[in-house]
């Protein structure tokens, strides 16, 4: 999704690329980066998942920043990280990589939030980028909307998470072969406190 890169800017992406992301836990966590000029917030969970037949490290992360004047626009973002890429055969990561990626505005991310056994499906445009050295051979799929957009897709997903949802599945459809899908399902137990901190005052 080209707008993700245009709206957040190179500095925004480099910051997240430089943040340590070890896959060592399976509970929800919240972090605030005081060193960031925008006060970046993160709520995330990490786990092992079976991706196209391979055991991978996966991370579901929500990011939030607030508006700061006219030139710093706050963003809400959802990131889905998989590692190692080399173990996943047949999926075209390059189709999603960078601001000029072929994916463009195609809605090839499907987020399914399940509440009371009922699935709520969101189809989202997205972008992607290579992760940093702290995650060996990793790739990050990302989608976002303006923090001020109360009807944005990421905001709607977060609202559902806060109101009793049990799980969230992220699925990314291959750009050239739509029968190939990367997906992982994350538990939402224990997520409420982290998400409330993420959205405080936003």
Question: What was the pLDDT predicted at 8?
Answer: 45
- Residues of 140-156 as b/e, b for ≥16 C-beta within 10 angstroms? bbbbbbbbeeeebbbbb
The domains of the chain are located at 2-199
- pLDDT tier, 39 (very low <50, low <70, confident <90, very high otherwise): confident
Identify whether the C-beta of residue 31 lies closer than 8 Å to the C-beta of residue 64.
no
Identify whether the C-beta of residue 175 lies closer than 8 Å to the C-beta of residue 95.
yes
pLDDT tens digit sequence for 99-135: 999 999 999 999 999 999 999 999 999 999 999 756 7
Helix (H) and strand (E) counts in the chain = 3, 10
Question: What was the pLDDT predicted at 72?
Answer: 74
Average pLDDT over residues 32-39: 69
- pLDDT tier, 17 (very low <50, low <70, confident <90, very high otherwise): very low
Average pLDDT, the chain: 86
Question: What was the pLDDT predicted at 163?
Answer: 94
Hey, how many other C-beta atoms are within 10 angstroms of the C-beta on 189?
11
Task: Give the residue with greater pLDDT, 16 vs 96.
Answer: 96
Closest CA to 188 of 163, 155, 151: 163
> What string of DSSP letters covers 76-140?
EEEEEEEE-GGG--S--GGGGBSTT-TTTT---EEEEEEETTEEEEEEE--EEEE--TTSTT-EE
- pLDDT tier, 6 (very low <50, low <70, confident <90, very high otherwise): very low
Phi, psi of 168 (to 5 degrees): -140, 125
Instruction: Please state, in angstroms and rounded to a whole number, the distance separating the CA atoms of residues 38 and 35.
Output: 9
pLDDT for residue 81 is more than 60: yes
Specify the long-range contacts of residues 146-150, CB closer than 8 Å, at least 24 apart.
146/7, 146/73, 146/74, 146/75, 146/76, 147/64, 147/65, 147/66, 147/67, 147/73, 147/74, 147/75, 147/76, 147/202, 148/67, 148/73, 148/74
Question: What was the pLDDT predicted at 34?
Answer: 63
- pLDDT tier, 14 (very low <50, low <70, confident <90, very high otherwise): very low
pLDDT tens digit sequence for 128-166: 999 975 678 999 999 999 988 888 999 999 999 999 999
């Amino acid at each position: 999704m080209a707008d993700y890169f245009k709206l957040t800017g190179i500095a925004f992406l480099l910051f997240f690329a430089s943040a340590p992301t070890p896959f060592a836990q399976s509970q929800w966590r919240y972090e605030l980066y005081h060193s960031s000029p925008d006060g970046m917030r993160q709520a995330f969970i990490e786990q092992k998942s079976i991706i196209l037949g391979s055991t991978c490290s996966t991370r579901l992360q929500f990011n939030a920043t607030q508006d700061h004047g006219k030139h710093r626009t706050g963003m809400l973002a959802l990131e889905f990280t998989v590692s190692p890429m080399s173990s996943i055969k047949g999926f075209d990561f390059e189709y999603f990589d960078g601001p000029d990626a072929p994916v463009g505005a195609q809605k090839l991310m499907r987020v399914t939030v399940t509440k009371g056994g009922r699935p709520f499906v969101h189809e989202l445009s997205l972008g992607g980028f290579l992760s940093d050295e702290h995650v060996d051979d990793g790739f990050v799929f990302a989608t976002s909307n303006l923090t001020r957009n109360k009807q944005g897709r990421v905001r709607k997903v977060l609202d559902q998470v806060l109101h009793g949802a049990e799980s969230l599945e992220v699925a990314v459809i291959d750009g050239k072969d739509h029968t190939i899908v990367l997906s992982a399902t994350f538990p939402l137990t224990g997520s409420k406190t982290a998400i409330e901190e993420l959205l405080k005052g936003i």
